[in-house]
Structure 1
Amino acid sequence: MVKAVAVLSSSEGVSGTIFFTQEAEGAPTTVTGDVSGLKPGLHGFHVHALGDTTNGCMSTGTAKFTIVDKQIPLIGAQSIVGRAVVVHAEPDDLGKGGHELSKSTGNAGGRVACGIIGLQG
């Protein structure tokens, strides 16, 4: 079993912790989290390719969630460990919104919090 964690923070008062667990290579990854300081409503949730938050992530509710997904492994060549998880201001339209950004970003709006996914001991 592999476990990872991302501690989210932002200059806008959004904070939280996201936990990732994968039992074995090829098994789905379970993601649980608790994020506070969000504006009410839906928010996009993405894993970004790079874990570089040196320039920040580029509001008063809480999101608690559990996600199980085979596309975000902790083990193997496509591991998300070391990448960044980002919470966006708006919901992700899954590329179906018709906006010019729908296919590339899900038109999810600005970044309101982020953290680097690291192994958990």
Structure 2
Amino acid sequence: MKLKTILTAASAAVLLAACGSDHHDAHNVHGDGEHIGQRSFSATLNPTEGNEGLHGFVMFEDTADGVFVLAHVEGLDAGGVHGFHVHEYGDCSDPEAMSAGGHFNPHGADHGSPQSTERHVGDLGNLRADDAGIAHLEMIDTKLELSGPHSILGKSVIVHAQPDDYQTQPTGDAGARVLCGVIVDADIDEHDHHAH
């Protein structure tokens, strides 16, 4: 599987440490871990101004059941809960990442939880940090798309300072943006890396 190969090369030691304990939200993927991928995207999460101790990444891969999402963030406050969304613009240039715009919401829906019938496409819920400040999440999402007119390619991933309450419109009252990363084609990046 492409995603597994990329992750092994990038951060095997980090992921093994993170997977040793339970960092998973209620909607995580369990089972044999086999995901038959077609397209793979990734986002390297960089800290916004004043949050320099934070870092992480997110991977997205097509599967037969939806888009497999893997997120891993380090440097968070122990036990902290942080809103986690795809935003509409792939622009993290602003010091507070406001250039990323609002949640990716091509259908004009209300904000909600990942399990809500009506929600923004970008509503991915919360990341929960363990006692070491590490948040690790694996889930399948059925509203994200990696191809077509509503593809998340070129959008951004934002991690917020506060939890998403799943109710407050249109943001979930998740607070400041502490990490931002642009979603790129992992296959192209991997090819470019080997080409140089």
Partner of 1:31: 69
| Deviation by residue 1:64-90 (Cα, 9 ceiling, x = unmatched) | 111211111112111111000000011
Identity %: 39
Corresponding residue SS for 1:115 = strand
Partner of 1:8: 45
Query: Match of 1:110, as an amino acid?
Result: A
Partner of 1:54: 93
Corresponding residue SS for 1:109 = coil
- 8 Å contact from structure 1 (residues 43, 108) kept in 2: yes
Q: Unaligned regions of 5+ residues in structure 1, if any?
A: 96-101
| Deviation by residue 1:92-112 (Cα, 9 ceiling, x = unmatched) | 1111xxxxxx11110001111
Q: Unaligned regions of 5+ residues in structure 2, if any?
A: 1-37, 99-131, 188-196
Distance (whole Å) between structure 2 residues aligned to residue 15 and residue 120 of structure 1 = 18
Shift >3 Å, 4+ stretches: none
Distance (whole Å) between structure 2 residues aligned to residue 46 and residue 33 of structure 1 = 11
TM-score, normalization by structure 2: 0.54
Corresponding residue SS for 1:29 = strand
Partner of 1:98: none
- Which structure has greater strand proportion? 1
1:120 paired with 2:186, answer yes
Query: Match of 2:59, as an amino acid?
Result: F
Alignment of 1:1-121 (within 5 A): 1-10=38-47, 11=49, 12=51, 13-23=53-63, 27-40=65-78, 41-56=80-95, 57=97, 61-95=133-167, 102-121=168-187
| Deviation by residue 1:33-89 (Cα, 9 ceiling, x = unmatched) | 21101123111001000001111325x711011121111111211111100000001
Name the Cα RMSD after superposition. 1.5
Max Rg structure: 2
- Which structure has greater helix proportion? 2
Query: Match of 1:106, as an amino acid?
Result: G
Distance (whole Å) between structure 2 residues aligned to residue 83 and residue 22 of structure 1 = 17
Aligned residues: 112
Query: Match of 1:69, as an amino acid?
Result: D
Please report how far the alpha carbon of residue 17 of structure 1 lies from its aligned counterpart in structure 2 after TM superposition.
1.1
TM-score, normalization by structure 1: 0.86
